[in-house]
Amino acid sequence: MARPSLRSALTGTRVRERRTALRLKQAELARMAGISAAYLNLIEHNRRRVSEPLLEALAAALGVEPETLSEGAEGALFEGLREAAAAAEPPEIRPVAADEAPELERIEEFVGRFPGWARVLAARQARVAALERVVEGYSERMAQDPFLLDSLHEVLSAVTSLRSTAAILVETEDIEPEWQARFLQTIAEESLRLSASAEGLVQYLDEMEAAETGLSSPLEQLESWLSGRGWHIAEFERPDPPAPEALIAHAPELASSAARELARVYLAQARADAKALPLKPFVLTLAETGPEPGRLAARLGAPIAPVFRRLATLPAGLPGVPPIGLVVCDGSGTLVLRRPVPGFALPRSSAACPLWPLYEALSRPMQPIRTVVDMAGRLPQRFLTYAFAAPRGAAPTFEGPVLMEAMMLILPAPARTEAAERAVGASCRVCPRAACPGRREPSLLSER
């Protein structure tokens, strides 16, 4: 491991800084540490390595921890520079000649001699990484955006119809006049539809450009980090789970302090859940009851909410357990957590569909609600949802407001669902259900 020795190359600079801050003379410090002033001078100019016992002696004399001298405050700066070096030239594109590669072994020297430039480079690297996340977000959005997918479907249907109809008219020499008139009418209709779809698309893209200029929100940063870990925090399943702060410290995705605070609260809860409902017995019980949160909670003697959260954050690939989504909202209906599941469209920033059982639960606290929903989208898809609302956190008191929290688990619907299903969407703007009683604003989608 090369890192400690690389960092220690700047130890001398830090000794010198600390000594001058304390207004100590070189000779005085040298005497206290039991070395000659000339040797200390060499150390302070980073021209001699400092042995472990000498580091401790110097640290004691300067009244600091040895790590302060060996690591310094530049840790984050070094990380940023290493990231910049790693991102500079993906080797699979072009092999880097030895004399063109960043001199990683001289990184300490670089920081020591050009601290200002080093900070600029590290800051640029952080900015590039943030922008890369935005680009990733956009490309993911292009692949999943319900409005874009629906528009594409509209265009494709119109084009399919136009192509077939036009070919019939051209290729059928003996076509009857009635059929000819019928197909000409089709061409007129479909042309109008095609131009309406195109207009809708252009308007949507214009609005999207105007609306989104910033980086991702704190919640999106947290969700993106959790998604990168498969929504399962394996560290918390160990007998000695680490503190949430320890996990956050190694998460560059949590770029803003707001995102780190969200993550801290989320992780503290996940850690408590893991302790209250250890994975092994939970999975064993799950294998007996199936993914039905009510039965599972009863068998485990646990409250519903942690069972919901545990179900949605199981390790991937457990046999017989489908991917399980989870949405959580506070009393205002604002989504405070979105663990997605394929096919169930979750709104990115706007409010969700008022017909979600999640909101029904919010208005009927403590009542478990099991509903099969039919999610509007490019392909109609059914999901089995379990919704439940309860006061947030510990037992409510008679002082202060009671804050409610609603949660909804999202599972694949059982095969051949015949029961009544509730028609829901993601959010009004991107929902095609024209006659929906819950509609609060017009849809961007052309009416079918």
Partner 1 sequence: MAEKQVLLVEDEPNIAEAIRFILSRAGWAVAIEGNGAAALGRIAAMRPRAVILDLMLPGRSGLEILADLRADRDLAATPVLMLTARGQGRDREAVERAGATAFLAKPFANADVLAALEAIAAPLAGGGAVPTAAAVARGA
- Site residues (vs partner 1, CB under 8 A): 152-153, 156-157, 159-165, 167-168, 171-172, 179, 182-183, 186, 189-190, 378-382, 415-416, 448
Q: With contact defined as beta carbons under 8 Å apart, do 30 and 39 qualify?
A: yes
Strand order in the sheet with 335-339: 335-339, 325-330, 404-412, 381-391, 369-375, 422-424
Extract the tokens encoding 294: 């009510």
Q: Which is nearer to partner 1, 23 or 416 (CB)?
A: 416
Provide the 10 A C-beta neighbour count for residue 182.
12
Q: State the nearest-atom distance from the C-beta of 415 to partner 1, in Å.
A: 7
Q: State the nearest-atom distance from the C-beta of 184 to partner 1, in Å.
A: 12
Q: Which is nearer to partner 1, 138 or 179 (CB)?
A: 179
Q: Which is nearer to partner 1, 124 or 141 (CB)?
A: 141
Extract the tokens encoding 60: 């004691």
Q: State the nearest-atom distance from the C-beta of 132 to partner 1, in Å.
A: 24
Q: With contact defined as beta carbons under 8 Å apart, do 427 and 351 qualify?
A: yes
Is beta strand 381-391 parallel, antiparallel or unpaired with respect to 404-412?
Answer: antiparallel
Rounded-to-10 torsion of CA 50, 52, 53, 59 = 70
Q: In this structure, what are the phi and psi dihedrals at residue 327, rounded to the nearest 5 degrees? A: -125, 140
Q: With contact defined as beta carbons under 8 Å apart, do 356 and 408 qualify?
A: yes
Q: Which is nearer to partner 1, 299 or 382 (CB)?
A: 382
Q: Which is nearer to partner 1, 20 or 180 (CB)?
A: 180
End-to-end Cα spacing for the chain: 63
Q: State the nearest-atom distance from the C-beta of 341 to partner 1, in Å.
A: 15
Q: Which is nearer to partner 1, 162 or 283 (CB)?
A: 162
Extract the tokens encoding 237: 């399943």
Helix (H, G, I), strand (E, B) or coil at 387: strand
Q: State the nearest-atom distance from the C-beta of 380 to partner 1, in Å.
A: 5
Q: Which is nearer to partner 1, 191 or 363 (CB)?
A: 191
Q: Which is nearer to partner 1, 130 or 152 (CB)?
A: 152
Q: State the nearest-atom distance from the C-beta of 158 to partner 1, in Å.
A: 9
Q: State the nearest-atom distance from the C-beta of 214 to partner 1, in Å.
A: 30
Q: With contact defined as beta carbons under 8 Å apart, do 155 and 115 qualify?
A: no
Helices (H), 37-74: 37-44, 52-62, 66-71
Q: State the nearest-atom distance from the C-beta of 429 to partner 1, in Å.
A: 20
Q: With contact defined as beta carbons under 8 Å apart, do 249 and 79 qualify?
A: no
